[in-house]
Structure 1
Amino acid sequence: DVPPPAAPARLSLAAPAPNPARRRTSVSYEIPSSAAGRPFTLDLYDMAGRRVRRLAQGSGTPGRYGAQWDLRDGRGDFVRSGLYLLVLEAAGERRSRRLVVLP
């Protein structure tokens, strides 16, 4: 028997790829065992601090996950080119990464 993969030891958010993005981008993140059963969110913000879109949310099942973003906001409109911030929050911790959107 092959043992199941170990739960991540800490909250982590990988760099989005591609970055800069023109059509879509992907990001992977890890929810640690310390966040088990607790809510988490992965949100995208513009530089004015406005939430552009929620990319993921859940109840903190430990493991590695991925999310894709099609460069659209919560209303389905394409965002403007510029700098954005991906923010992962879980169990009182926060990780962030910058993302550049090109025309």
Structure 2
Amino acid sequence: MKFHYLLVDDLLEKGEFERRVEEKVAESGDLLDDRTAAMLVVKDLGRAHIRIHDLPAAPSLACFFAKVLSVEEPRHCHREPADVQEARRRHRGDG
């Protein structure tokens, strides 16, 4: 549930979020688990999890939680004679 709360922590205190989750579970007659109820609370607040490929092209604020799929071997970049930097490419996805 912490993951879902992080999407709305600027809107609600943690206790209020947990109260709303419990309320959703009760409204469903205990058909919803906490995770599903938390997703509904987040959606009710106008935020939601979306897949990376579904992000709109328009500029907006986005917070990414992604699964690291692979990490390539480091490459060394020589910028100045004594300045060597290391770079790695990481492939991420929705999982």
Asked if Structure 1 and Structure 2 have the same fold, meaning a TM-score greater than 0.5 normalized by the shorter chain, the answer is no
Give the structure with higher Rg (CA). Answer: 2
Q: TM-score range by the shorter chain?
A: under 0.3
Larger strand percent: 1
Structure number with the bigger relative contact order (C-alpha 8 A, sep ≥ 6) is 1
TM-score for both structures, normalised by structure 1: 0.23
TM-score for both structures, normalised by structure 2: 0.24
